[in-house]
Amino acid sequence: MKDLKIPFAIVSFLLVQGAGVVWWSSQIDGRVKTLEAESLSIARENRRYIQEVIMPSYEINDAWDNPHHNNWLKSGGWKD
């Protein structure tokens, strides 16, 4: 190990790559928060479109009665 001499170019390359990884990983949290906010706004807009355009065109509302869903709930729903 005494005679191991690593060229400066390789050491500097590895240091720059390591710094880049640290910088990139520190930005992940901000990107995730941005994506979550955008997804939430898209979901709200989709729901508003469904309520204001699709449901009136089919003459349905949020209070429709689905006997299959009601029977499923009575039988325990997701519980086995």
Q: What is the pLDDT of residues 34-65, one digit of tens each?
A: 888 899 999 999 989 988 998 888 888 777 78
The residue ranges of every structural domain in the chain are 29-61
More confident of the two residues 79 and 80: 79
pLDDT of residue 65: 81
Residue type, 36: E
pLDDT of residue 63: 76
Residue 1 has pLDDT above 60, yes or no: no
Cα gap 50→56, rounded to integer Å = 9
Band of pLDDT at residue 30, cut at 50, 70 and 90: confident
- The model scores a pTM over 0.75: no
